[in-house]
Amino acid sequence: MSEQKLQHRPNYTLPEEELLYPGHVACPGCGGSLSMRYALKALGKDTMVVIPACCWSIIAGPFPYSSLDVPIYHTAFETTGAVTSGIRAGLQALGKEGITVVGWAGDGGTFDIGIQALSGAVERNDDFIYICYDNEAYMNTGIQRSSATPYLAWTTTTPVAHPKDKPKKDIVAIMAAHRIPYTATATVGYPEDMIRKLKKAQSIRGAKFIHLLSPCPPGWKSEAADSIRLTRLAVQSKVFPLYEIENGRDYNITVWPEPEIPVRDYMRLQGRFRHLTEEHLQLIQEEVDENWARLVERAEGKGV
């Protein structure tokens, strides 16, 4: 960062480099697009990104145009883990070092259809970073529920009369169970924490998994201007704790919820939860409290 720029932006703590350009086609307030912008700020230009079918297949722009200043490989929905492994093997065969290979997939492409390829790639401990930007439904095809959709949320396939009756799948625990070197959660409302985790992932050899909470105004029925606030409320309500896990065992909570708030304060800004009753909110609060207590125990080295 130049001296002059520092003078104008004394509190700017993020890398200045921009590898996502204006002109992309994300919706206003898209958490997934800001996630990519920050991720590339952290990882830098020597990065290759593998993108399966998801909103990001569209956001990047139609071939031959691209809003990303790094190579992108668009691939089939279920194949991100296999393609990232293949690209790493190809780079190795060519003797090319110093390149970060990133799998960049949505929650549907990660929690559901891509989990087999992902599990295979991380079990082989291939050297790549898998980043799931989680907007908690299949947004690109019109807001269908995925296994990342929260308990009782509205989607077009879980309408108000039949809201989702299953809890969100714990993908981070599934990844940690593979005993990979690094697993972490992050979100754009805490950009320094997110960038630190991505840089740390980049410095470690082997398989790394990063789970990003990424608000989606059309899918969450929220205001575009509330996206950043929602990520902060998600952390403060403990709905989406920020933590990291090394070697599948060592848990570290990186941002303590401050101030602590009830889940209702996170949910009331989102139309997808508008139908919830007091009883529903109580059930969700209990589930969140239980998950948080388990995480704290693990971070203190007591839990399993």
217 binds, among ligand TPP, Mg ion, none (CB under 5 to 8 A by kind): none
Segment lying near Mg ion (by CB under 5 A), choices 16-24, 104-112, 200-208, 244-252 = 104-112
Nearest distance from residue 255's CB to ligand TPP, in Å? 25
Tokens of 179: 């005993």
* Burial tier of 51 (Cβ tally within 10 Å: 0-12, 13-18, 19+): buried
Q: Which stretch binds ligand TPP (CB under 6 A): 7-15, 135-143, 235-243, 293-301?
A: 135-143
Please tell me whether residue 55 binds ligand TPP under the rule CB under 6 A: yes
Binding partner selected for residue 141 from Mg ion, ligand TPP, none, CB under the kind-specific 5 to 8 Å limit:
ligand TPP
Q: Which residue is nearest to ligand TPP (CB)?
A: 106
Residue from 35, 40, 107, 251 touching Mg ion (CB under 5 A): that is: 107
Pairing, β 182-187 against β 242-246: antiparallel
DSSP string, 66-94: -SBSS-EEE--TT-HHHHHHHHHHHHHHT
Q: Which stretch binds Mg ion (CB under 5 A): 45-53, 119-127, 133-141, 221-229?
A: 133-141
Member of 29, 81, 103, 109 binding ligand TPP (CB under 6 A): 109
Q: Is residue 80 within 8 Å of residue 50, measured between CB atoms?
A: yes
Segments of the chain assigned E as strands: 47-51, 72-74, 100-106, 128-134, 182-187, 207-213, 242-246, 250-255
Nearer to ligand TPP, 77 or 151 (CB): 77
Facing residues of 212 across strands?
A: 133, 186
User: Which residue's CB is nearer to ligand TPP, number 149 or number 236?
Assistant: 149
d(CA 219, CA 146): 12
